[in-house]
Structure 1
Amino acid sequence: MMKKICFIASTGGHFEQLMMLKPLMNKCDSFIVTEKTKYSVIKDHKKVYYLRQVNRSEKTFIPKMIFNSIKTIEIFFKEKPDVIISTGALSTIPMCIFAKLLRKKLIFIESFAKVNTPTLTGKLLYKFADQFYVQWEDMLKIYPKAIYKGGIY
Structure 2
Amino acid sequence: MSIYEISILISTVLCLILLRVLYVLLKIYTTKCDLQSSHDGLRTILCLGSGGHTTELLRLVKSLNCKKYNPRLYIIANNDKSSEVKMHSSEISQKDYSFTKIPRSRNVKQSYSSSVLSTLHAFTRIIPIVYGFKPDIIFCNGPGTCVPLCVVAFVLRCLFLIDCRIVFVESVCRVRTLSLTGKILQLFADIFVVQWPQLRNDCFRAKYFGRLT
TM-score greater than 0.5 by the shorter chain: yes
Equivalent position of 2:178 in the other structure: 118
| In 2, Cα distance between equivalents of 1:63 and 1:102 | 21
Equivalent position of 1:42 in the other structure: 84
Equivalent position of 2:57 in the other structure: 18
Equivalent position of 1:61 in the other structure: 115
What SS is found at the alignment partner of 1:123?
helix
Deviates more, 1:127-136 or 1:12-21: 12-21
Equivalent position of 1:100 in the other structure: 154
From 183, 192, 195, the equivalent of 1:135 is 195
Which entry has the higher C-alpha Rg, 1 or 2? 2
Long gaps (5+) in structure 1: none
Deviation at 1:133, TM superposition (A): 0.2
Deviation at 1:82, TM superposition (A): 1.2
| In 2, Cα distance between equivalents of 1:108 and 1:3 | 17
Long gaps (5+) in structure 2: 1-38, 92-96, 158-163
Q: More helix per residue: 1 or 2?
A: 2
Answer whether contact 2:50 2:80 (CA < 8 A) is retained.
no
Answer whether contact 1:10 1:90 (CA < 8 A) is retained.
yes
Tell whether 2:128 aligns with 1:89: no
Answer whether contact 1:7 1:31 (CA < 8 A) is retained.
yes
Deviates more, 1:10-19 or 1:50-59: 50-59
Deviation at 1:101, TM superposition (A): 1.5
Deviates more, 1:89-98 or 1:120-129: 89-98
Please tell me the root mean square deviation across aligned C-alpha atoms, in Å: 1.9
Answer whether contact 2:43 2:136 (CA < 8 A) is retained.
yes
Amino-acid identity (%): 27
Answer whether contact 2:196 2:210 (CA < 8 A) is retained.
yes
Tell whether 2:102 aligns with 1:51: yes
Answer whether contact 2:47 2:145 (CA < 8 A) is retained.
no
Q: More strand per residue: 1 or 2?
A: 1
Deviation at 1:142, TM superposition (A): 0.6
Equivalent position of 1:3 in the other structure: 42
| In 2, Cα distance between equivalents of 1:12 and 1:127 | 26
